[in-house]
A and B are shown apart, each in its own frame.
Chain A
């Protein structure tokens, strides 16, 4: 029996999320007394694959195939389901990102396997299998019991600490055949911004709300984000106004993120906004209204005019960075 984890790659490379998944799967396997196995789909070099062994993965299956370059939900879900069967997986782990969210439910139906999506930690127990997940947009946690032989979990990015644990690993190369699932969506065009830190990958996020007053005032936010090696985000009205691009909008109807540090500037802290950021480890708020609800969610706060505080903060950070 095994815990099977799908470790997605980006142009042949893994990223921190892949190692979070590997760490999670190997710890879970230890807890359940079974073996951790990783499945990688698409071309990934040997030494890149071997990195997974640094996080406790003992068996790495690398599947390549002609029509695997493009992501088709039917093809990928069949492939992962078949791998799970071959490896007698009782637990399948995916990321709670675009891909994982698209695949988990399909695999669930194929394998009659219950799903807990958006988990942030290990199960409370494995027999019966009980695990906590986010519910009511961050306003509660629910404990689910997964009642099927095979269980599927999707792990929230940046919620599980890396656990370095080098093990001997074997790599098994496979070629996928018979995965032509018939006519599917055809990609016409792709627009990707490379080199930019993705909001979901960022450990530090600097975010601005309507209190920033206008798009012209974003300079210090960008500078802060750059100094902290973080990404920028915003509240919904800000993206609705077109002050910032839509990908930056966090909240119930935007992105749900869990960075180590979220700095909310001129954001009131409406429940719909908090829904997207309440998983952050630390929240800092800068707001001129001391009664703004964001201060109830924040561990650190500054009551003041953003226009005055931000330049000072940028200066202080530069000083701290130089010392």
Chain B
């Protein structure tokens, strides 16, 4: 079996988010880019499965849609252990364009498990995985918190309201991954970093697509009013405020 992990890169969560050009664009100066946390976990899980010979995973590939500036992120995925990488050379404007590009990589390859994260932590779209599945007319499973391969079958646990569901999915399928899929992201070792330099990043020409939406502008969240402090010896005051001022209890 072959696994494809779709990776997006996002500003490190500790980066202060700022905008430029009248708040129409993200100010990228000083941003530290990282692999989207869920994609890092998906990749980790894919590699764990490959390490276990009984799972029969041949290759783990990663794919990214974006300009050359994303190559350090792709190299990082290779250093962590991906066997090869694809990059579609285009600057996508929305999730639809990303998914349309990823679809051609999947069609050209022979992937059994295609993994996407539940959302990118920048635009919080939650869209690429489902769109990709629909472009390919493949089954998709969302909210995956566990992925195992036993006797050639793909066992999945997905989170549902108030519990979980255990499934067996036919392949190929698109898995949309959330928390739990792997414990800690795998870190690149020195050897991996050396080897990653030699691994190829396959450039894929973009297909023509039109975006369906456009981000016009950004604004910071409204500042909350200053905190009102209550004497720790009189917590009853807090209850009063919540009852009479905020009216939430």
Least distance between A289 CB and chain B CB atoms (Å):
13
Interface residue tally of chain B, by bracket?
35 or more
Q: Compute how far the CA of A198 lies from the CA of B176 in the bound complex, rounded to whole angstroms.
A: 22
Q: Compute how far the CA of A148 lies from the CA of B212 in the bound complex, rounded to whole angstroms.
A: 6
Q: Compute how far the CA of A115 lies from the CA of B13 in the bound complex, rounded to whole angstroms.
A: 25
Q: Compute how far the CA of A116 lies from the CA of B163 in the bound complex, rounded to whole angstroms.
A: 27
The B interface, classified by DSSP as helix, strand, loop or mixed, is mixed
Asked if residues B218 and A142 are in contact (CB atoms below 8 Å), the reply is: yes
Contacts of B239 in A (CB 8 A): 313, 316-317, 320
Asked if residues B168 and A281 are in contact (CB atoms below 8 Å), the reply is: no
Give the contact stretch, choosing among B79-87, B118-126, B199-207.
B118-126
Contact of B130 among A106, A194, A285, A312 (CB under 8 A): A106
CB contact under 8 A between A146 and B213, given known A101-B126, A109-B131, A137-B121: yes
Which residues of B in the span 1-60 have a Cβ within 8 Å of any Cβ on A?
11, 13-14, 17, 19, 37-38
Quick one: closest B residue to A304, CB to CB?
B232
Asked if residues A97 and B213 are in contact (CB atoms below 8 Å), the reply is: no
Per-position 1/0 for A110-127, Cβ under 8 A of B: 101111111000000000
Asked if residues A141 and B121 are in contact (CB atoms below 8 Å), the reply is: no
Per-position 1/0 for B55-92, Cβ under 8 A of A: 00000000000000000000000000000000000000
Least distance between B112 CB and chain A CB atoms (Å):
14
Contact of B131 among A105, A116, A282 (CB under 8 A): A105
Contact of B133 among A106, A190, A254 (CB under 8 A): A106
Quick one: closest A residue to B231, CB to CB?
A302
CB contact under 8 A between A105 and B217, given known A186-B168, A192-B163, A252-B13: no
Which residues of A in the span 41-87 have a Cβ within 8 Å of any Cβ on B?
72-74, 77
Contacts of B162 in A (CB 8 A): 192-194, 196, 198
Check if B191 is an interface residue, CB within 8 A of chain A.
no
Which residues of A in the span 281-307 have a Cβ within 8 Å of any Cβ on B?
281-285, 295-305
Asked if residues A272 and B13 are in contact (CB atoms below 8 Å), the reply is: yes
Least distance between B238 CB and chain A CB atoms (Å):
6
Asked if residues B165 and A190 are in contact (CB atoms below 8 Å), the reply is: yes
Asked if residues A302 and B238 are in contact (CB atoms below 8 Å), the reply is: yes
Q: Compute how far the CA of A317 lies from the CA of B232 in the bound complex, rounded to whole angstroms.
A: 14
Least distance between B249 CB and chain A CB atoms (Å):
6
- Number of A-B residue pairs, CB cutoff 8 Å, is 266
Per-position 1/0 for B187-207, Cβ under 8 A of A: 000000000000000000000
Per-position 1/0 for A124-155, Cβ under 8 A of B: 00000010011111111111111110000010
Q: Compute how far the CA of A64 lies from the CA of B169 in the bound complex, rounded to whole angstroms.
A: 24
Check if B151 is an interface residue, CB within 8 A of chain A.
no
Quick one: closest B residue to A113, CB to CB?
B212
Q: Which of A74, A102, A112, A118 lies at the interface centre, i.e. has the most chain B CB atoms within 10 A of its CB?
A: A102
Least distance between A73 CB and chain B CB atoms (Å):
5
Check if A261 is an interface residue, CB within 8 A of chain B.
yes
Asked if residues B224 and A299 are in contact (CB atoms below 8 Å), the reply is: yes
Contacts of B243 in A (CB 8 A): 320
Asked if residues B122 and A135 are in contact (CB atoms below 8 Å), the reply is: yes
Asked if residues B221 and A271 are in contact (CB atoms below 8 Å), the reply is: no
Contacts of B135 in A (CB 8 A): 109
Asked if residues B161 and A108 are in contact (CB atoms below 8 Å), the reply is: no
Check if B113 is an interface residue, CB within 8 A of chain A.
no
Check if A98 is an interface residue, CB within 8 A of chain B.
yes
Contact of B143 among A102, A139, A193, A304 (CB under 8 A): A102
Q: Compute how far the CA of A67 lies from the CA of B37 in the bound complex, rounded to whole angstroms.
A: 35
Contact of A98 among B142, B170, B220 (CB under 8 A): B142
CB contact under 8 A between A115 and B95, given known A104-B127, A134-B124, A200-B161: yes
Contact of B170 among A113, A184, A190 (CB under 8 A): A184
Contact of B229 among A130, A303, A305 (CB under 8 A): A303
CB contact under 8 A between A102 and B140, given known A145-B216, A146-B213, A300-B241: yes
Asked if residues B128 and A105 are in contact (CB atoms below 8 Å), the reply is: yes
Contacts of A184 in B (CB 8 A): 139, 169-170
Least distance between B99 CB and chain A CB atoms (Å):
7
Contacts of A319 in B (CB 8 A): 236
Q: A144-B214, A300-B238 are in contact. List 17 more A-B contacts (CB 8 A).
A: A104-B130, A108-B96, A108-B127, A136-B121, A138-B221, A141-B220, A181-B139, A183-B170, A185-B168, A191-B165, A228-B249, A261-B242, A282-B248, A300-B241, A302-B232, A303-B232, A313-B239
A positions within 8 Å CB-CB of B: 10, 72-74, 77, 96-98, 101-106, 108-110, 112-118, 130, 133-148, 154, 181, 183-194, 196, 198, 200, 203-204, 228, 246-247, 249, 252-254, 260-261, 271-272, 275, 278, 281-285, 295-305, 308-309, 312-313, 316-317, 319-320
Closest 3 CB pairs of A and B: A105-B130, A304-B232, A114-B212
